[in-house]
Structure formats: C-alpha cells, structure tokens
Chain A
Amino acid sequence: MAGFEILDPTVEPRRQPLTYVPRPDSLKGKRVGLVENTKFNSDRLLQKIGVILKTEYGAADARMWRKHNSGVPAHKEILDDAKQAVDVVVAGIGD
C-alpha cells in the first residue's frame, strides 16, 4: 500500500454555549436543595454542608433529594421539584 489516506475514527465534542442563571447576592433567606448521588456518605456530607449554609450563611432551608443511582443524572421528578422548591442546588459527591 503506497501513499494512501486513513479516516479519523474519533468524534470531537461540540460546544454547547450555556447561559448561566443569574446568581443571588447572598444565601440569606434562600432555600437550598441538596442532591446526593447515592454513594456512601454523600448524603451525610451534603447534609452537613446544608447545616452550615443555614447556620452561618442564613439560608432559610436545606432539603435533600436522592438520585436513582450514581450513573444517571438527577431524574425528572427531582428537577421539577427543585425548580419550584429551592433557589440554589448543591450536588455530589462520592464514589
């Protein structure tokens, strides 16, 4: 085979510009959503973060949702609920 062409087997991700949501000025009075990824201690660590956001940063409330499993994004019920029920979300964490 002398002098030939080969084809690229890869795919490049395409840019998908995201318009970020306007941020609040502070967490005072804000409702916090915590989305835990089902991995061990994720819920406990997020819950502790939620307590600090309330006691030290004035957040009004912190409520937790648990995903179906760590391999999927937050499911529709969580997204729909959160849109109505909270002002900010903290999501994570473990393996």
Chain B
Amino acid sequence: MTARISSQRYAVEDFQQALDLCYSRGWTDGLPVVPPTEPAVRAMLDAVGLEPDTQIAFITNRQVAITAEKVAINAVMAGCLPEHMPVVVAALEGIADPRWGYHGPATSTGSAAVLVIVNGPIAKRLDFNSGDNLFAPGWRSNATVGRAVRLVMRNVIGTMPGRLDRGTFGHPGRYTYVMAENEAESPWTPLHVERIGCRPTDSAVTVMAALAPIQFYNQLSSTAAGVLGTLCDTLRYPGQIGQPNYCVVLAGEHMRTIAADGWSKAEIRKFIFENSTNTVAHFKRTARMPGAVKPEDETANRPIVQSPDDILVVAAGGRAGSFSCFIPGWASRTSSEAVTVVIKERSA
C-alpha cells in the first residue's frame, strides 16, 4: 500500500522527546503512548486492507469523519498490534451508529464509558480475557483495544474533558472497558448470535454506553431464582430511572448454578424484568422522579428496563468467587442503545 499518509508529521530526536510531545499536546489518556511512526501506522492499515483516507465512520453530531489513517495512528499509540485493528474498527463503527447516539453518552454529565464485549473466534485467537480479573489489567488485547477507542474519541472526535466531555465523575472504564464472553464454558447462546443472528464462527463486538460494574454476592443459593433474586435486589436501586440497557455478567459459580436449573438467557432476562421493579412512589420519595406522591403511585410498578430484551446477559468472569455483576447503561435505551457489529477480518 503506497497511498499517501496525510497527517502532519513532527520530527523528534528520540523516544522521550516523542513522548513529551504527545503529553504536551494532550494526545494521551494520561498514560504513556507508543510513538506513532509511519511504518507502524502502515502496518495497522495493512491489517485491515484499507487506504488511509477510507472513512470508517462519520459522527454527525460532531461533523467529524473518522478515517482509517487516524484510527491507525491512535491504535499504534494505544499499544495495539495490527491484529487488533479490525476489532477497533468494528467498535468505532458501533459508537458511530445513530442508535448509539454518540453525543449523549460521550458528552453527558452521566459519565458513560464504552463497554466493548467481544464474541467469536477472534476472542481466543487474540487472547481477549473472559475469565478471572475480567476488568483488570494484564491482557494486551483488553487493555489496548479499549484504549484505542478512547484515544480516537479524544483526539479525532474531540471528546475532551471540560469541553465536549462533561462527565461529572467519568470512571476507570474510560481507560479501557473490554471483555470477551466465555463462550468455551458458557451453556448459553453467545451474545452476538442472539442479538443479530451471527454464526458462532463469526466474530463481533457489542458496544454499550456503560457505567461502572456493580457486583453482588450470593454464596448460599443453589438455584437460579436464588442467585438472580439477589441480583434483582441489588439492581433495583441504581439511582437512575431512565430505563437504559443493562449488561448482566454471570461469573463461573453463578453461571453453573443457573445453568444447572436449565435456564436460558431469555428466562434469565424475563426473571430480572419481573423482579426488579420499583414503585413510582419510591422513586418520588427518593427524589428520582419529580412531584408529590399520589395514592396510585404506591402500586404503580416501573421496571428497570423498557423490555427484557434490553438486558444483555453475558457469561464471563472468574471460575471462583460467589460474585456476579451488572453494568447499568446510560440514560435510556431510546437515547442510546447497545449496538452489535460484525468484525470484518481479512484472511491471511
């Protein structure tokens, strides 16, 4: 590929000067970045077979075109290998989708990060973690793919704190928030097969505007209803009433308990939908809804989501530990919904 790289070039004497330049320009997420040289950027572009000026996505609300060249530069900086590029590209296509609604989750005081769920054979091939320490450091793929997405959001789309990013808290998921589904051990249909009818041999990412994970503990139950009852008791009080997507992540012990009862993901979703309601009276008393409490509010039940389909159920997390978690989405599903995108891979 010999098409021209059009980005401005900066001459530096050595690695340290390159790093200092990136920091001084505000191009990093606070961590050091890999200096993006032309050969490294071209290797990224070769991995996806794209010309530098190919438009990956257009963010309408920001009037910004995301080109393959700029994705490649930020992916190098994040520490990605060329093999990661197709995953980064798919995630960006997801957040540029009108259903994800870029402006809301990116700019809002509500502080959503981009949760990236990886499915399909690419997860194992590129060693995306789906087990112990699911959200913790240590796996290059999980760390760098999410980081590349955030660097594109900052450097290309202009999502900068105080300007077009007003997250009151943000959260650590804005460094990276990538997980793979544990398809090898899961008894259930993988997320991408469920959501958009992928074949299990396809690879895909699902992106969801997401707050931080909230874990719950249940060591005592030996039934699906027992485990999920504890989940529902915890999930009912997230402090938001907008009915966004939720991602429920069931780790090893709970996964096996629920599976032993023969429950499918659809049954899990239905149980959560029916058992995690709050009354309108409760929401008004706790200042999540405006207005005085009316008598009818005491029996008006409001589910946590608009539909059971808004709950993404994923098998992932450690083999040991009586913990699972749920991840609230942002605002409401009508303002931003999770999007699943097939990863386009080039054959070798």
Contacts and interface: CB of A to CB of B under 8 A. Distances in A.
Given A2-B14, A69-B331, A8 B103 contact: no
B8 A8 contact: yes
B70 interface: yes
Given A7-B8, A9-B73, A9-B74, A70 B104 contact: yes
A32 B275 CA distance: 47
A21 to B, nearest CB: 20
B107 to A, nearest CB: 8
B63 A5 contact: no
A39 to B, nearest CB: 11
Contacts of A71: 61, 101, 103-105, 107-108, 331, 335-336
Interface string A18-30: 0000000000000
A13 B41 contact: no
Contact of A7 (B13, B25, B38, B332): B38
B55 to A, nearest CB: 12
B238 interface: no
B9 A69 contact: no
B101 A8 contact: no
A8 B11 contact: no
B158 A3 contact: no
Interface in B286-335: 290, 331-332, 334-335
B7 A7 contact: yes
Given A11-B156, A69-B104, A72-B101, A6 B61 contact: no
Given A6-B9, A9-B77, A72 B37 contact: no
Q: Which of A2, A3, A7, A40 has the most CB of B within 10 A?
A: A7
Is the contact region of chain A dominated by helix, strand, or loop, or is it mixed? loop
A68 interface: yes
B88 to A, nearest CB: 13
A40 B290 contact: yes
A6 B12 contact: yes
Contacts of B10: 5-8
Nearest to B34: A6
Interface residues of B, number: 45
A84 interface: no
Given A1-B15, A71-B101, A6 B331 contact: no
Contact of B36 (A1, A7, A95): A7
Given A2-B14, A71-B108, A13 B64 contact: yes
A5 B101 contact: no
B268 interface: no
B109 interface: yes
B41 A7 contact: yes
Contacts of B18: 1, 4, 6
Given A13-B63, A71-B336, A5 B12 contact: yes
Contact of A5 (B37, B156, B335, B336): B37
A77 to B, nearest CB: 16
B27 A72 contact: no
Contacts of B151: 9
Given A2-B14, A71-B336, A95-B109, A7 B104 contact: no
